[in-house]
Amino acid sequence: MTTPLLTYYNDLRRRYGPQHWWPADSPFEVMVGAILTQNTAWSNVEKAVATLKAHGLLDPGRILETDEETLGLAIRSAGTFRIKAKRLRVFVRWYVDRGGTPRKLRALGLARLREELLAISGIGPETADSILLYGLGLPTFVVDRYTWRVLTRHALIPEDTSYDEMKELFEGNLERKASLFNEYHALIVRVGKEHCRARARCEGCALEGRLPGK
């Protein structure tokens, strides 16, 4: 069965090709990156991750034994570094307590993991879903600023649509498959960066007329 959202996905996929998300060497690096990228340009996160690696700090045990000030220094380029140093340590505490490996975490199940992540201070819905989808390969859709922007610029949803409503829109109309959710969100970020940036309706955009519901 072909839904409008799937048609849109196929259009984007043909237009841009595979996005290869999440760019990282390990699931743990994805999770760290998910926290570091909050309200921050990805290029700044890359520098912070490189610094962590250079100091051997991209490791759960090492992060827990490193004080927040030192950790903050290493991730300084990612911005809001004092807050993120704290958030990193709180998250890693949980990560280790839940087994300390992606395999053991996955055994807890998507619903429970998401609930526990959201209960952690510093982890909101987008960060939680990024950790689950891109870090653990679990089928949960990641909604972000770009998702809202693309959908509203093309008048596909009202401006006051919530995170959960957008998430449900995708999950309810697509096959629940991590690989599909992975690529779709990455493509939305891609098209969101290239188009739909202006505050006005995205008229004349190459995707106009090829969107769901139009």
Residues near DNA (CB under 7 A):
21-23, 33-34, 37-44, 47, 76-77, 79-84, 120-128, 130, 134, 144-146, 189, 193, 197
Residue 32 or 105 having the CB closest to DNA: 32
Residue 4 or 83 having the CB closest to DNA: 83
CB of residue 144 vs DNA: minimum separation in angstroms?
5
CB of residue 1 vs DNA: minimum separation in angstroms?
30
CA–CA distance, 139 with 82 (Å, rounded to integer): 32
Residue 109 or 124 having the CB closest to DNA: 124
Residue that is written with structure tokens 């009202």 in the block: 158
- Non-local (6+) Cβ contacts of 24 within 8 A are 30, 33, 49
3-class state of residue 101 by DSSP: coil
- 42: its two tokens: 């990805």
Task: Check if the beta carbon of residue 95 is closer than 8 Å to that of residue 60.
Answer: yes
CB of residue 86 vs DNA: minimum separation in angstroms?
8
Instruction: Please list the alpha-helical segments (H only) found in the chain.
Output: 4-16, 27-36, 42-54, 60-64, 68-74, 81-97, 102-106, 110-118, 125-130, 145-153, 163-173, 178-194
Residue 4 or 80 having the CB closest to DNA: 80
Give the burial string for 146-180 (b: 16+ CB within 10 Å, else e): bbbbbbbbbebbeeebeeeebbebbeeebeeebeb
Task: Check if the beta carbon of residue 188 is closer than 8 Å to that of residue 146.
Answer: yes
CB of residue 168 vs DNA: minimum separation in angstroms?
16
Residue 82 or 112 having the CB closest to DNA: 82
CB of residue 33 vs DNA: minimum separation in angstroms?
6
CB of residue 203 vs DNA: minimum separation in angstroms?
19
Residue 63 or 189 having the CB closest to DNA: 189
